Amino acid sequence: MIPPGGTIGVLGGGQLGRMLAQAATRLGYRVHVYEPQANGPAGAVAHAETNAAYDDVAALTAFARGCDVVTYEFENVPAAPLRAIASLTRLHPHWSVLATAQNRSREKNWLRANGFPHAAFAEVAAGADLAAGAREVGLPCVVKTADFGYDGKGQLKVRSEADLPAATARFAGQPVVIEQFVDFACEISVVVARSEKAAVRVFPVAENIHTNHILEFSIVPARVAPAVRAAAEKLARLVAEKINLVGVLGVEFFVTPDGHVLVNELAPRPHNSGHWTIDACVTSQFEQQVRAVCGLPLGAVELTAPAVVMVNLLGDAWRDRAPDWSTLLAQPQVKLHLYGKAEPRPGRKMGHFTVTARDADMALELARKYQARL
């Protein structure tokens, strides 16, 4: 066990690192952030910050030597340089987990090899025949870059043969994964935590609503059948065990109209759809990450309110000035979280707020109302 007072290294300096640092500090840990860009959200609340490239092995080595454990807030850290520091400190999750989740080809092949339900897919090497791959999967389909994609970046829906030339031109020279288009009933996700001693805690299932590929609302409890909820929780637990997770992992799912649950993506760090845990769960996903990577007992994951909805706040709401936060702050069942980012941009996650209520439908209704007022 790494007791409070130890130093947790965090690779990545965004809002997830900020909330992780806040949780770690409350437990008495020191936090050292490693992030290429200065003045990020996490560095503002950390005890120390190193600004260097992720492939700077000398800087990574110095960083690792000063940390009792290193974890991630961002899965697009190149895995290869992390092998160099794996012998210098504890690295949770293992760099191999990161390597699997940050590349869609490796992730899909891992899911298939381990028997997890997923959408049919084909891999197309750089310069190979994308159209042939799309026809193999069947139209409509979704073409995605193999590496480093999130929030809908690096992907394109191909509806018909007429769309194939544009897709071929857009992804020219890039390896891609082509996935069968899933006409899903809804999207859900589960955050799961696992310790070195193989203890597992599965957070309640969240129902997610996306707009322009960016998460807009997370609703807990998810408004799905009990069998769907149970299937998602079981799959998340099995993924964590099979991949030998130490830390937290977000598992995204599609729910088909006939109630089947398909694994969509894995994220080996706190998940955007788990932010509600700060305000409506016995243990937040961020505290749970600290507990898991430091060898502490995992915390309880029961809800502390009947229902909660998380709403992402994007830079679009700023326009020529900051929103009037008094709309939210006047509501006793609303909690506001801002990430301290200096520059609001359309589509950029600037913060979030949560709303608790007596049931999920009411929480979502209130969330939409307060969002519209902003």
Q: Could you tell me if 264 and 254 are in contact, meaning their C-beta atoms sit under 8 angstroms apart?
A: yes
pLDDT at 152: 57
pLDDT at 151: 56
Q: What is the pTM (predicted TM-score) of this model?
A: 0.96
- How does pLDDT run across 316-341, given as a tens digit for each residue? 999 888 899 998 999 999 999 999 99
Same CATH fold assignment for domains 120-180 and 186-373? no
SS3 at position 232: helix
| CATH superfamily of the 186-373 domain | ATP-grasp fold, B domain (3.30.470.20)
- Non-local (6+) Cβ contacts of 303 within 8 A are 204, 220, 221, 280, 281
Report the C-alpha gap between 207 and 228 in whole angstroms: 11
What fold does the segment set 120-180 form as a domain? Dna Ligase; domain 1 (3.30.1490)
SS3 at position 277: helix
pLDDT at 79: 87
Closest of 200, 135, 196 to residue 168, by C-alpha: 135
SS3 at position 66: coil
Cβ burial, residue 166 (10 Å; 0-12/13-18/19+):
exposed
Q: pLDDT by residue for the chain (374 residues), tens digit each?
A: 999 999 999 999 999 999 999 999 999 999 999 999 999 999 999 999 999 999 999 999 999 999 999 999 988 888 888 988 899 999 999 999 999 999 999 999 999 999 999 999 999 999 899 999 999 999 999 999 988 666 556 889 999 999 999 999 999 989 999 999 999 999 999 999 999 999 999 999 999 999 988 999 999 999 999 999 999 999 999 999 999 999 999 999 999 999 999 999 999 999 999 999 999 999 999 999 999 999 999 999 999 999 999 999 999 999 888 899 998 999 999 999 999 998 999 999 999 999 999 999 999 999 999 999 98
Residue 157 φ then ψ, to 5°: -80, 130
- Non-local (6+) Cβ contacts of 67 within 8 A are 7, 8, 9, 32, 89
Q: DSSP string spanning 254-269?
A: EE-TTS-EEEEEEESS
Report domain extents, the chain. Answer: 7-91, 120-180, 186-373
Axis crossing angle, helix 285-294 with helix 15-26, rounded to the nearest 10? 70
Strands 30-34 and 48-50: parallel
pLDDT at 150: 63
The highest-level CATH class for domain 7-91 is alpha beta
Report the C-alpha gap between 281 and 268 in whole angstroms: 20
pLDDT at 149: 60
pLDDT at 62: 97
